[in-house]
Amino acid sequence: MKFEVTIDLKKSEYNKVMKKEQKHETDYIKKYQDEGYTSNFLFEGGTLLDSATKYAYQPNEIFIVAHHRYEGMSDPDDMSILYIIETKDQIKGTHLIGYGPTADLEEAEFFKDIPKANYSKNADINELT
């Protein structure tokens, strides 16, 4: 016995479903930039550096609003985390780090050292709304 399932989706519905499945870092970065998270942070010298002001933040000065994890479609070792950040002085921005085999251990430790109280209770978000 053979079963065949047909899903009848309008093209716009199909595109919406496929678009949701294909989200990646740049989609989230753009979304958050549109919401005012425009600063870019770099990890340098054991600190998180605001690329515009050059201020070097310590872990206790960082607040994690959200984070999104990604795995590469073609290479599962290509893993990253996008952090949505607010600082003690209300600077809003994003920072992307590799994790898994591509992780920078010093950078990973920096984020591990951010106090748990500095994470939003809704920080672990993986849906783009």
Tell whether 82 is covered by a domain: yes
Tell whether 105 is covered by a domain: yes
Tell whether 19 is covered by a domain: no
- Using a pLDDT cut of 90, give the percent of the chain over it: 53
Total domain count for the chain? 1
SS3 track for the chain:
CCCCCCCCCCHHHHHHHHHHHCCCHHHHHHHHHHCCCCEEEEEECCEEEECCCCCEECHHHEEEEEEEEEECCCCCCCEEEEEEEEECCCCEEEEEEEEHHHCCHHHHHHHHCCCHHHECCCCECCCCC
Tell whether 4 is covered by a domain: no
Query: For the segment 97-128, what is each residue's pLDDT rounded down to a tens digit?
Result: 988 777 889 999 999 999 999 998 766 655 44
Tell whether 97 is covered by a domain: yes
Domain of 86 in residue numbering reads as 25-118
pTM > 0.85: no
The residue with greater pLDDT, 48 or 29, is 48
pLDDT class of 73 with cuts at 50, 70, 90:
low
